[in-house]
Amino acid sequence: MAVIKLNLKDLNKLSGFEIEKEELMQRLPLLGCDIEGIDGDYVYVEFFPNRPDLYSVEGVARALRNFFGFKKGLREYKLLPPKTYIKVDESVEKIRPYVVSCEVENVRLNHELILELMDLQEDLHWVLGRDRKKVSIGVHDPSRVKPPFRYTAIIDRDIKFVPLGMAEEMSPVQILEKHPKGKDYAHIISGHNKYPFILDSEGNVLSLPPVINGELTKVSEKTEKLFVDITGTDFDLISKALNILSTAFLERGFRVYQVEVRYKNKTVITPDYTPEEKDISLDYVNNILGLSISGEEAVEALERMGYGAFSAGNSLKVEIPAYRSDIFHPVDIVEDIAIGYGYENFDAKLPDIATTGEEDSLEEKCRKLRKLLVGYSLSEVMSLMLSNEKENFESMFVEGEAVTIKNPISEDHTIVRTSLLPSLLNVLRINRHHELPQKIFEIGDILIPYKELPEGAKAERHLAIVLIHSKAGFTEIKSIAEALMRDLGLEYKVEAEEHGSFILGRCARIVAGGKPAGYFGELRPEVIIAFDLEYPVVAMEINVEQI
């Protein structure tokens, strides 16, 4: 998520009213954000991914002006008519079909503003553009290029230019192979024999979207005019990005000129701030929020969130600001009414739904089992389900198949355990320097691949016990196993079992109600040694669902 560095002085200047730092710190989270830290005149704020319009100090100033009630309702921006155009060639259609654009004048930049502008661009790339796939932005100083512009795709051998940060001309293929940005973003446009370019009327390169701009139009503190191109795969999304960026310029007092974008079949003029209108019913709002607010109150709340709003009877007419990219459904407007109304102003009440709670039967059984086992003087431990082949199989001298992770984060966690015993032996390993005897149990889940289920894997709830001390032996674990069967009132039989982890002839199978439920016995010295232990260990593992 995007963390924005807010310059408080700049914020006050842009919003047009003074906000005390303390008040800001208190109220800002109620607009929807987490305050990450304060450093003198700077506040670091994390805004949520649904509100990229707040990813700039200009956007935050606009929101606060509304939210604090200084100036409410839909903000009217003055856009100046186009002075130039971009012609879109059909050749980009299959590669990256859309472009929108604007020109900016009366520009005054300094080092900090340039950095903020770059941050905003990167945040929009990430959040709206999914790392430039859907949206990529080029901001240029157009003083050395000549309008009008072209958006077209060109084959590698026909074009060369000096990309940002380089001294020499490179072809698109060279850039994608050698330039760091080229390597990062090659995957978005490769697979075609042509590459998309924004060119001026003389064929000079402004950018190779979504990869890199040309050195020719690099923005500096001396820059007085800007030219913006935004390309992508979704026209609405790039339009929102342009609206967010260009209204930020307007908030700062720059002049924004529209640009004509000439597609083959139609011409559009961008940016376009016409608000989308939605009618929603007041009942719908009150129903979701559990409130009974009036139309006026709803309008007031909407205006605090920057909407234009009118109420008539049960109906609300809502104008959605053009920079809002997150309004999918009327329910998104309802949330803004809730925020504008103030979460702190809700009357929290319990619903009239009388029900009785029921435990899951397996959980209930496990709760009772734990009570028994603690009574047997066994300490409960809890361990991770993630394991690895070595611990789960090799160290136990057994073989098997486990649910396996495709993208493990470490060698220790590559599979999900198929048995609890390795987990418990691992606990003994951790405690090997502590006093003996140690007697522990765990009731927990294991997973096994299981094709008969749609998910391809099955969870089983197991119970395992291990005891370690110098005289640990078969009889002791048998006593526990039999006590458990007796306490559960189960008919059971004990039969000879062969199991790779146990000494031959010292392992038994428990058959409860005619079904094998688990096994117990003395562990082989090889297993004991594999877990760095030096004392006899007896163990038991049973499937809780079988008893």
| Residue owning tokens 């522990």 | 440
Compute how many other C-beta atoms are within 10 angstroms of the C-beta atom of residue 401.
10
Of the candidate residues 9, 13, 144, 367, the single one contacting another protein (CB under 8 A)? 367
The whole-angstrom separation of Cα 246 and Cα 254 is: 9
Q: Which of residues 224-263 bind another protein (CB under 8 A)?
A: 234, 236
Of the candidate residues 8, 49, 162, 398, the single one contacting another protein (CB under 8 A)? 49
In 298-355 the beta strands, taken as DSSP E runs, fall at 308-312, 315-320
**Which residue, 217 or 419, has its beta carbon nearer to another protein?**
419
Question: Per DSSP, what are the bridge partners of residue 441?
Answer: 380, 465
**Which residue, 8 or 339, has its beta carbon nearer to another protein?**
339
Q: Should residue 377 be labelled a site residue for another protein when binding is judged by CB under 8 A?
A: yes
Part of the chain binding another protein (CB under 8 A), chosen from 211-219, 315-323, 352-360, 475-483: 352-360
Phi, psi of 89 (to 5 degrees): -85, 145
Eight-state DSSP code of residue 71: S
**Which residue, 139 or 189, has its beta carbon nearer to another protein?**
189
Q: Should residue 274 be labelled a site residue for another protein when binding is judged by CB under 8 A?
A: no
The whole-angstrom separation of Cα 108 and Cα 102 is: 17
Residues in the chain: 547
Question: Per DSSP, what are the bridge partners of residue 268?
Answer: 261
The whole-angstrom separation of Cα 373 and Cα 361 is: 18
Of the candidate residues 162, 186, 269, 385, the single one contacting another protein (CB under 8 A)? 385
Q: Should residue 427 be labelled a site residue for another protein when binding is judged by CB under 8 A?
A: yes
Q: Should residue 115 be labelled a site residue for another protein when binding is judged by CB under 8 A?
A: no
Q: Should residue 460 be labelled a site residue for another protein when binding is judged by CB under 8 A?
A: no
Burial of 362 per CB tally in 10 Å (0-12, 13-18, 19+): exposed
**Which residue, 38 or 447, has its beta carbon nearer to another protein?**
447
In the bound complex, what is the minimum distance in angstroms from residue 362's beta carbon to another protein?
A: 7
Of the candidate residues 165, 290, 505, 513, the single one contacting another protein (CB under 8 A)? 290
Of the candidate residues 386, 488, 490, 503, the single one contacting another protein (CB under 8 A)? 386
Q: Tell which residue, 170, 156, 167, has the closest CA to residue 215.
A: 167
Token pair for 369? 């089992």
Q: Should residue 368 be labelled a site residue for another protein when binding is judged by CB under 8 A?
A: no
Q: Should residue 30 be labelled a site residue for another protein when binding is judged by CB under 8 A?
A: yes
Give 194's contacts (C-beta < 8 A, 6+ positions apart).
91, 95, 153, 154, 155
The whole-angstrom separation of Cα 468 and Cα 437 is: 6
**Which residue, 171 or 543, has its beta carbon nearer to another protein?**
543
Q: Should residue 93 be labelled a site residue for another protein when binding is judged by CB under 8 A?
A: no
Q: Should residue 434 be labelled a site residue for another protein when binding is judged by CB under 8 A?
A: yes
What stretch of H or E contains 72?
Answer: none
In the bound complex, what is the minimum distance in angstroms from residue 174's beta carbon to another protein?
A: 29
Q: Should residue 456 be labelled a site residue for another protein when binding is judged by CB under 8 A?
A: yes
* R_g over Cα of the chain: 33
Q: Should residue 130 be labelled a site residue for another protein when binding is judged by CB under 8 A?
A: yes
Q: Should residue 191 be labelled a site residue for another protein when binding is judged by CB under 8 A?
A: no
In the bound complex, what is the minimum distance in angstroms from residue 34's beta carbon to another protein?
A: 8
Token pair for 167? 């001294």
In the bound complex, what is the minimum distance in angstroms from residue 497's beta carbon to another protein?
A: 27
Q: Which of residues 466-525 bind another protein (CB under 8 A)?
A: none
